[in-house]
Amino acid sequence: MTGSQAGPPHDPAGSARAKLRPEHYDYFAGGAGEETALRENEDAFGRLALLPRVLRGGGDRDTRVSVLGRDWPAPLFVSPTAFHRLAHSDGEPATARAAAAAGVPLVTGMAATTAVADVVAAAREADPGAVVWFQLYLQPEPEVTAELVLRAERAGCSALVVTVDSPVFGRRTRDLRNGFHDLPPGLAAENMRDLPGVPPGTTRDIAMWPAGWDDLARLRELTGLPLVLKGVLHPEDARVAVDRGVDALVVSNHGGRQLDAAPASVEALPAVAEAVAGRVPVLLDGGVRRGTDIALALALGATAVGVGRPVLWALATGGEDGVREALTALREDFEQVLALCGGTRPQDLTADQVVARGLPYPPYGPTAGQGVPRGLAYRPRRGERPW
């Protein structure tokens, strides 16, 4: 096929850039510092290859995974991202309807430009059984956190995702350069409206502060909802979190927006999965763009993966339809990769199928036994995961 027949490469970020004000595009696209962690999230997937298995037979493919007592149609969810109305005037309700229609659970953010009750209602319009979780930053005033939790419970969210990688706000280089600090007039973080301590009708700022394990314990007492800790990269934190009763983890470097020296999410995953040892689901986000990325993360111990920016780009360019199509395409891509890897179920993907590019892989090459990706240490057995 010649270049002219091949057509332009698929570039969702580039298409979105053409639709958005430059400072809004930069807000969505950018990361902290020199954007090393941001780049690495995608590049790290590119450094890994998948070893397909052959002649495994098997029946119909089934991409379902079980997470916190619910069957998800695919090992895919929408990660929480702020300010969807900056991407498209239809905002979070459009994302929610699209995700529900595509069979993809949604984590709606505390920094959404639509209140959580309206986001859940939109998702349930498309699918009455839609899974919606609420992402929360613990706030210094316990009564503020308590009110946010109550709103998420009343709205019908089935888990709380507590983001723990933000004791301070990351230094987002592009936002500093552009002078982008706040939403334009007419838009607000609607979950922060009418909370304790502010005059009726007004919103509070979201506080970034160094919460501790005791604050998490207080949250545990406050709600019966499952708690999902987002932003865990150190295996010891993962171990402590599980010991303290956390119900799931998200391995994440916040899309490269917090600590710029943090490793790529997929590189942190194997050690966390090993520490957790199947006791709770391990989720991952950061740099997931295609079916092979999903398969790599699953093979290295993730139960499901989240996407952040791909949803924002699809929303900016195509609104609700765009998000539904992007998520559906990602699901289909994963299903095909699963088949090509010789699997019929997500659990069929195992760590021995992941090798580093650029080297003959062990145990067959001259470097046998050296440079073994940490992931190879974690070998989930079929049926090992109890959730």
Least distance in angstroms from the C-beta of 287 to ligand FMN: 5
Between the alpha carbon of residue 38 and those of residues 18, 162, 182, 272, 291, the distances in Å are: 21, 21, 22, 20, 19
Q: Which residue is nearest to ligand FMN (CB)?
A: 308
Q: Which is nearer to ligand FMN, 300 or 355 (CB)?
A: 300
Q: Which is nearer to ligand FMN, 79 or 158 (CB)?
A: 79
Question: Given CA atoms 150, 117, 106, 81 in this order, what sign does their dihedral have?
Answer: negative
Least distance in angstroms from the C-beta of 103 to ligand FMN: 19
Q: Which is nearer to ligand FMN, 41 or 145 (CB)?
A: 41
Can the peptide bond before residue 73 be classed as cis, meaning omega within 30 degrees of 0?
Answer: no
Q: Which is nearer to ligand FMN, 257 or 324 (CB)?
A: 257
Q: Which of 345, 251, 250, 255 is nearest to 295 (CA)?
A: 345
Tokens 């609607």 sit at which residue? 190
Least distance in angstroms from the C-beta of 131 to ligand FMN: 16
Q: Which is nearer to ligand FMN, 82 or 326 (CB)?
A: 82
Q: Which is nearer to ligand FMN, 251 or 355 (CB)?
A: 251
107 Cβ neighbours under 8 A, 6+ residues apart: 77, 78, 79, 80, 132, 133, 134, 135, 161, 306
88 labelled catalytic: no
Q: Which is nearer to ligand FMN, 95 or 252 (CB)?
A: 252
Between the alpha carbon of residue 126 and those of residues 88, 103, 259, 288, the distances in Å are: 19, 10, 37, 25
Least distance in angstroms from the C-beta of 105 to ligand FMN: 13
Contact 50, 203 (CB under 8 A): no
Between the alpha carbon of residue 253 and those of residues 6, 139, 172, 308, 386, the distances in Å are: 35, 20, 14, 12, 27
Please pick, among 24, 84, 88, 254, the residue that the annotation labels catalytic: 254
Between the alpha carbon of residue 186 and those of residues 67, 182, 268, 282, 319, the distances in Å are: 37, 11, 40, 38, 20
Using CB under 6 A, list all residues that contact ligand FMN.
28, 41, 79-82, 109, 111, 135, 163, 230, 252, 254-255, 257, 285-288, 307-309
DSSP codes, 292-313: HHHHHHHHTT-SEEEESHHHHH
DSSP codes, 152-193: HHHHT---EEEE-S-SS---BHHHHHHT--SPPTT---GGGB
Strand-strand pairing, 354-356 and 48-50: antiparallel
Contact 168, 184 (CB under 8 A): no
Least distance in angstroms from the C-beta of 59 to ligand FMN: 32
Contact 269, 51 (CB under 8 A): no
Question: Given CA atoms 267, 244, 306, 88 in this order, what sign does their dihedral have?
Answer: negative
Q: Which of 254, 164, 241, 257 is nearest to 208 (CA)?
A: 164
Contact 319, 94 (CB under 8 A): yes
Q: Which is nearer to ligand FMN, 192 or 271 (CB)?
A: 192
Enumerate the active-site residues. Answer: 254
